[in-house]
Structure 1
Amino acid sequence: MPLASLRPSPLVEQATERMRAQITEGEWPVGTRLPGENALAKTLGVGRSTVREALRALAGAGLVQARQGSGVFVIATEPAQDWPGRLRRAAITDVYEVRMIVETQAARLAAERRTEEDVAALTAALAGRERAAAGDDAAFVDADIALHAALVAAARNPVLSDLFAEFAPALRERLIDLVELLGLREHERNPGHDTHAALVAAVREGDKDAAEDILRTELEQTLAHLHRPRP
């Protein structure tokens, strides 16, 4: 597909998509040195600043790389997968396994590092989870995630908190599916309340082993359900 002038509208997006197509369709194979900014601007009928922004977008997608003094080169024909997108496409069992790894360690750190404010936040989140049990599945899942977010925050590790924040949207989608798939609230509107209450108590008392064990047991039980063959 040869390059051609672009129509007015979001020119950066158009330029990015046109050049991306050149790469993904094999017109510019890996190792190809792209035309210079002036040549690209002339061919596409846009300004150099538009070309520059489009090249930044392609670099952000992992398709091209600028080499000082040499130009811009194609380094991949498929865009790199972004982390949120990868999580959204992942199997629920894979998401849950990662959740277990992250949160069990967060529980240990929370029991060791929690402050009075953290304990208050956990207690409030536990009460919020109990109140949300009267609502629909989405509201209950949101309250459950809020409690686990408070647990991670109590670990006092900003990187861990950022990781959970990236993880939470995909986790929310999977949990809503999970509640429906396993029928977790058909017979009990507030499943796991006693376990979560024990978890909050363990963190409050500074019992690292208990906090980790309680959470690990709960998550392992759910994961075992997910691995069972469906009729």
Structure 2
Amino acid sequence: MRSSIIFSFLLVLTYFSASTHAARFDITNRCPFTVWAAAVPGGGKQLSSGQSWALDVNAGTTGARIWARTNCNFDGAGRGRCETGDCGGVLQCQAYGQAPNTLAEYALNQFNNLDFFDISLVDGFNVPMDFSPTSPQCSRGIKCVANINNECPAQLRAPGGCKDPCNVFKTDMYCCNSGSCGPTEFSKFFKQRCPDAYSYPKDDPTSTFTCPGGTNYRVVFCP
């Protein structure tokens, strides 16, 4: 009887540990140019072409983002500016980045101990991205590899990227402030090129993916 109780306790402890450990995010730059990877939580790191950054994120983390900053210039104290994705003029980001930037978004160990993750173009686009699980218990990843910067509509063009229409026009139709918005000609432009990515704030049904808690992930810039 005692051994049975101990065995049951160990099973529960093993499950709890497996489902709540930190998730590993391997962030790799495959662009032919340097990017300054950014993460909230996590900070930031300069990545030359081919370099990677391993980031451990606590179980239960929500509202998290990873993105690439481009054309940055930082001094020895880690202060400077980036053309896209700038997070308040610091190398070690504590706040979200400035549009346009392609976003990897996630929340860990949520409903039914599932991780929720997505690629979002709601803040525009600056570099192609792959956001995928690397653990065997989950295999469905997301990619946005279209040449959006070169095809960007004239109204949304910005140095180094393609802006989102909310940032440009600041109207409810594009920003979804009332909660009743739908697709627009601009969101359809993004959706046609990256069908699995968020193209406007209410684009949930085809753009949110899940993996079991305890999954590890990769984020690749220019896959």
User: Is TM-score (shorter-chain normalized) higher than 0.5?
Assistant: no
Larger helix fraction of residues: 1
TM-score between both structures, scaled by the size of structure 1: 0.25
TM-score between both structures, scaled by the size of structure 2: 0.25
Greater length-normalized contact order (CA 8 Å, ≥ 6 residues apart): 2
Which of 1 and 2 has greater Rg?
1
Larger strand fraction of residues: 2
